[in-house]
Amino acid sequence: MSTRLKSLLSYGIPVVIAVVLYVTAQSVDRAMANDFTGLFLLMTLAMAWNLVGGFGGQFSLGHSIFVGVGSYATAVILTTLGWPLIPTVLAAAVMSALIGLLLAYPLLRLRGPYLAVGSLGMAVASYGWMINWNFTKASQAYAIPVSGQISLQETYQYATILLLIAVVSIVALVRSPLGLRLVALRDNEAGAASIGVKRVRTLLPVWALSGLLTGAMGAVYALQSGSLTVDATFNIQFSLDAAIVCVIGGLGTLSGPVIGSIIIYYLRKYAADFANYALLIEAVVLVIVVRFFPSGLVGLATKGYRSITSRRTDASKK
């Protein structure tokens, strides 16, 4: 398959799927629309985190900040400025991208577990700030105004378009020269530095894009929720969910966050019937994947495909 055809399929297939989902959204019932919205938002969150944690090798535990900023920026802009929804979501996403740049600049001086702990510290500090800030109603619930309240089907459409933007932008970045430098830094930082790859200069735009997508996800999450609390939107669980999804699906792969999101979302949905055992079931699945399939399910599938291909090649030579 030619490179041009692969590129066409990489962009064309997601666009076709997104158009079909968008057009048929109004015929979907409320429960299914809510489920798909939650699933697509989890996929977007995981893809954005995977840019930093998978392709960049920077294990961040601070992405809950971007979710919170995107959510509250949406609520505040709708309440105080009365903007239309699309400019509001864009403004919230840009604000999160700027926060991503501000956080990345000092954090990128850290490496490994120090970066993880540093990002976690910033997430905790942001939570403490927001829960005591009267401008965002502190610990009280912040309701989305009537002008921003839309149907679940419309929220589903927003989530679909956002997921498409995430897929296209991440594929474009990973296949660009910046993406090559990013992977080179992850695989061998000293070697990449020796050929002139600047660590901070390479990672800053990646963190900005990750913050942009996560902030937009937070904005759509706010529209879906209808009412925000600091406990819900600045919850460290968002960062943990993104990491868990990517580890199960496959770190540093394009399809890993999608596969991992489907598994985790529906595992939680159906395991909820088992009450106290739900978290245990998820933990067992995660341990099994980490122990026996360290490269994730995508890595397992790739290894199996290569094994079958090599056997066919050997058989044809005999």
For residue range 47-106, list pLDDT tens digits in order: 999 999 999 888 889 999 999 999 999 999 999 988 999 999 999 999 999 998 988 888
Residue 314 lies in a domain: no
Give me 29's structure tokens. 């019932």
Residue 269 lies in a domain: no
| Mean pLDDT across 176-195 | 88
Banded pLDDT at 5 (limits 50, 70, 90): low
SS3 at position 228: strand
DSSP letter (8 states) at residue 55: I
Residue 221 lies in a domain: yes
| Mean pLDDT across 304-315 | 73
The count of other CB atoms within 10 Å of the CB of residue 114 is: 11
Residue 289 lies in a domain: no
Residue type, 130: M
Residue 313 lies in a domain: no
E strand intervals along the chain:
142-143, 227-228
Place of tokens 């956002």: 162
Residue 226 lies in a domain: yes
Residue 204 lies in a domain: yes
pLDDT attached to residue 243: 92
Domain of 176 in residue numbering reads as 3-243
- pTM of the predicted structure, to 2 decimals: 0.92
Residue 318 lies in a domain: no
The answer to whether residue 1 scores a pLDDT higher than 60 is no
Quote the CA–CA distance of 298 and 304 in Å, as a whole number: 10
Q: How many domains does the chain have?
A: 1
